[in-house]
Amino acid sequence: MKGEKMEEKIEKVYEAIEIARTTGKIKKGANEVTKAIERGSAKLVVTAKDTTPPEIIMHIPLLCEEKNITFAEVPRKDELGASAGLSVSTSAVAITKQGEAKSLIKELSEE
């Protein structure tokens, strides 16, 4: 059961990124995401578990907690990159303007 719940959440995260990419605004990459968190403009932050070296994104969950920003982790950076509309993988994505993903992001922040 727990695995299914996790899968469902990951699908919602990808969907939110895809919707925000076309109807809102996203930032891609650890540096851009970090800036968005520090500026307080990030609504949802997502990192990839398979990022190497992990030090690149280690600070992101703590920053999100500090700034009270919804944080999620997905298994693979290539899938994260694809959901962000990239042909390459990315270690982190932040949604800065929700667009039509607003209700999905609200749902994720309540989980």
Question: ∠101-82-49 over CA atoms, to 5°?
Answer: 90
Give the list of residues 6+ apart from residue 30 with CB closer than 8 angstroms, or none.
Answer: 56, 57, 60, 91, 92
Q: Which domain holds residue 91?
A: 2-110
**What Cα–Cα distance (Å) separates residue 16 from each residue in 24, 36, 52, 61, 63?**
10, 17, 24, 18, 21
pTM exceeds cut of 0.75? yes
pLDDT digits (tens, 9 = 90+) for 15-61: 999 999 999 999 999 999 999 999 999 999 999 999 999 999 999 99
**111 falls in which pLDDT band (50, 70, 90)?**
confident
Q: For position 45, which CATH number holds?
A: 3.30.1330.30
The domain tally of the chain equals 1
